[in-house]
Chain A
Amino acid sequence: MFYRDAGQFKTSYAADMAVFPLREDRIGLAVILLVAFAVVPLFGSDYLLNVVMIPFLIYALAAIGLNILVGYTGLLSLGTGGFMGVGAYACYKLTTFFPEVNIVVWILASGLFSAMVGLVFGLPSLRIKGFYLAVATLAAQFFLSWAFQRVPWLYNNNISGAIEVPGRTAFGFAVTGPSASPSVRYLVVLGIVALLTLLCSNLVHGRIGRMWMAVRDMDIAAQLIGIRLLPTKLLAFAVSSYICGVAGALLVFLWYGSAEPDVFSITLSFQILFMVIIGGLGSLLGSFLGAGLIYLLPIAMRLAAPAIGLDVAPSTIEHVTFMIVGALIIAFLILEPHGLARLWQTLKQKLRVWPFPY
């Protein structure tokens, strides 16, 4: 009733090919952006910004990065944590060498280092596929974790082996360090995530995205219609690692404030991979939904127990959360193997024809 395409005529090719062809979708997106950019920083509590929104956006960005590789190009990767770490350590080194440069510039630049590392570890992808590629990227993960532990140059010979984020300003505002206000940090994260999401949206809806998807669906057929496999796959690795690297730099600089090498372990890789699978392979929206489910659900459940007056020990909640989240993931995968993004599409389809389903 409120959501239908009747009466919305497309009069140009551009309108026909738009990412959001329906007026309702465009309005919805505008409302979400307005809430994200204006309402949340103005009215959100510190807790909402620090614990809910900033980590959610960072995870969503990392999930988008991995989704380009796994969802769009069909190359399974377990090295996400390592690539995120490269971004974080690169940003740390860059800002110690050139402290006067705007930190936002370094966060965006640090992704380039991770893209380079991604290119190197992406080389085998031409020859090996599927699980075998996953094992090769696993090697990348282990190698990078090892490097973060064992190369003192990376953490400036810090005695505790951790990287500690120095206070930096951008455009006159403190962005990193303890004196940065949560709203400033949130807006920086949101700005970067929105920018990179837009970039990815344009990539995947254009020629490059189609090349990736062609390779994903059948690489021999893609080769036959003139797509060169190696550059296409390597480009996917580079773009994916770039985005993961930026997400890693954001994670340490705008969320944790300091990080031990353990942060970028295989656990992080799996977490991001689960977000992509639950959210929906090959969907940008799915990356956000997946990050939301995996990261926010446990937090919400921790808050929900006291809110409804249950007096249980925090450790019990932790155990129960573990079980419920696990069960939910299985349930989601059984009910909708294509992820939350597909669920959303189905819902939209139903709404379109409601109240006269056929």
Chain B
Amino acid sequence: MVRHAFAAGAFALALGAGMLAGPAPATAQEGIYVPLFTYRTGPFSGSGIHIANGMRDYLEMLNARDGGIGGVKLLIEECETGYDTKKGVECYEAVKGKKPVMVNPWSTGITLPLIPKAAVDKIPVLSMAYGLSASADGNRFPWIFNPPNTYWDGASMIIKYIAEQEGGLDKLKGKKIGYIYLDAGFGKEPIPLLEQLAKDYGFELKMYPVAATEMANQSSQWLGVRRDRPNYMIMYGWGVLNPTAIKEAVKINFPMKNFISIWWPSEDDARGAGDGAKGFKTLNWHAANANFPAIQDIVKHVVEKGQSKADKASIGQVLYNRGVYNSMLIAEGIANAQKITGKKQVTGEDVRRGLETMNLSAARLKELGFEGFAEPIALTCADHNGHKASFVQEFDGEKYVPVTKPITPLTEKVAPLQEAAAREYVEKNTGWPKRTEPCDKNS
């Protein structure tokens, strides 16, 4: 027994010593440190792995092809969050000391605690089309960026699409629209907007919340759908929620063409439901194929050298490309910061300015090898989002095919809500710092 005790003691001592030292200090190596918060484990890994691969591969490609950005190598490091807030905050603390130029939390739950910290630690947060919708207000949230559109924009675009199918917004009257969502910050956020739209346009809103612990078992929600017979279903899901919902919808013979999701489901999510999933629709704002010079460069410089974890078939799929899009924004923010400041080795403060003055014009997208990949986007000091249009894409059994022109959000409905929410956030958090960061001219 005593030997066990000593062994345990020695073990504990060794671990304790390691912990006191903390994570390895920033490497002396010159470079721009870009941490990526990823989740390749846990219940959300089905979605998270593709995103992580896309983000990482694009940045690795820049390192391999151009030697980084502006000649400075990117130091890429993944931190595994498992989509868990606790681990995400831990990751943030672990990377904070290494002077990251920005963080990408990839979870609304992790984004929320980081929002107040960003201004204090001088680390911008890029929460691409997730996180706090109100943080699109750059005057109140100078350190938070959530391009290219918010969940409210998404909800309004889906409603607009439905109205188009019915022949106009006034035709929504008397229709029944179901809303199935992840019962967390992410899924709850659109509810006030949907409720208001329901009132304005006279449609009936039915809600089917799915708790995070019950994602894989939605039979009761879909029983409700079968009873209520909504004309359309809207879904805000993530992780296992998406494939389960699609399968259940197929099972109850819900008309798939009337089932529209926010931009998160992947090809795998729909494919699991077999042929019945044909016609399932999602929003999207970028292409879902690999026919772009930049993505071909990823294949050439990263994948074929065996440095990617991505499965070859997944390259060009929705979530992989979403990760690539995210990294394109990261890279553009850094490149822009270098341009404004004239420095090569940029800091978080510089990259904040870089993101704020970002102008991804059609010409710039072409230069980057992304011609036609997504709509041009420009951010301003007041607007950290862009509120860009998205199109609807349909699942054809194998891949997603765009079926509409880009649909613009219902700005007149969304803008007041965003303004009210941002104002309320600032009021609730007494002592919220006023914006002191000067506004750069858009370059």
Contacts and interface: CB of A to CB of B under 8 A. Distances in A.
Interface of A: 44-48, 50-52, 55, 96, 99, 149, 156, 158-162, 164, 166-167, 177-179, 255-263, 265-266, 292, 296-297, 299-301, 303-304, 306-307, 313-315, 317-319, 322, 335-336, 343, 346-347, 350
B54 interface: no
A346 B134 CA distance: 57
A263 B85 CA distance: 8
A343 B5 contact: yes
Closest 10 CB pairs of A and B: A315-B40, A160-B185, A300-B15, A314-B80, A47-B22, A178-B116, A257-B113, A178-B120, A347-B5, A258-B113
Contacts of A96: 428
Given A257-B113, A260-B185, A313-B78, A166 B23 contact: no
A61 B280 CA distance: 49
A237 B185 CA distance: 32
A315 B44 CA distance: 13
Contact of A47 (B94, B185, B186): B94
B23 A47 contact: yes
A228 B108 CA distance: 49
A45 B68 CA distance: 31
A51 B93 contact: yes
Contacts of A265: 213
A300 B78 CA distance: 17
A316 to B, nearest CB: 9
B423 to A, nearest CB: 12
B85 A178 contact: no
B24 A259 contact: no
Interface in B188-211: 188-189, 191-192, 211
Given A164-B429, A177-B116, A314-B80, A50 B93 contact: yes
B22 A45 contact: yes
Interface residues of B, number: 62
Given A161-B184, A300-B18, 4 more contacts: A159-B191, A162-B185, A262-B109, A347-B2
Contacts of B183: 149
B86 interface: yes
A296 B78 contact: no
8 contacts: A99-B430, A161-B185, A164-B116, A166-B429, A262-B184, A296-B19, A300-B15, A301-B15
Contact of A156 (B15, B24, B428, B430): B428
B41 A167 contact: no
Contacts of B425: 164
Q: Which of A47, A96, A149, A319 has the most CB of B within 10 A?
A: A47
A46 B93 contact: yes
A68 to B, nearest CB: 24
Contact of B15 (A162, A297, A318): A297
B39 to A, nearest CB: 8
B313 interface: no
B421 interface: yes
Contacts of A347: 2, 5-6, 9
B184 A303 contact: no
Dominant SS at the A interface? helix
Given A304-B18, A307-B21, A262 B212 contact: yes
Contacts, number: 152
Nearest to A357: B2
A50 B183 CA distance: 29
Contacts of B93: 46-47, 50-51
Given A45-B22, A297-B15, A347-B2, A260 B112 contact: yes
A256 B85 contact: yes
A220 B417 CA distance: 62
Contacts of A306: 23-24
Contacts of B9: 347
A177 B120 CA distance: 10
Nearest to A295: B86
Contacts of B22: 45, 47-48, 303
B80 A315 contact: yes
B109 A318 contact: no
B117 interface: yes
Nearest to B211: A149
A255 B90 CA distance: 10
B345 to A, nearest CB: 23
Given A99-B430, A304-B15, A315-B80, A260 B309 contact: no
Contacts of A261: 184
Contact of A159 (B1, B40, B90, B189): B189
A258 to B, nearest CB: 5
A203 B93 CA distance: 37
B217 to A, nearest CB: 15
Contact of B2 (A50, A179, A299, A346): A346
Contacts of B185: 160-162, 260
Contacts of A313: 40, 78, 309
Nearest to A354: B2
A196 B65 CA distance: 59
B405 interface: no
Interface string B116-134: 1101110000000000111
B270 to A, nearest CB: 25
A261 B2 CA distance: 44
Contacts of A260: 85, 109, 112, 184-185
Interface in B114-152: 116-117, 119-121, 132-134
B434 interface: no
Contacts of B8: 343
Contacts of A350: 2, 5
B428 A164 contact: yes
A176 to B, nearest CB: 10
Given A48-B20, A48-B22, A256-B86, A317 B2 contact: no
Contacts of A300: 15-16, 18-19
B419 to A, nearest CB: 13
B429 A45 contact: no
Nearest to A350: B2
B106 to A, nearest CB: 14
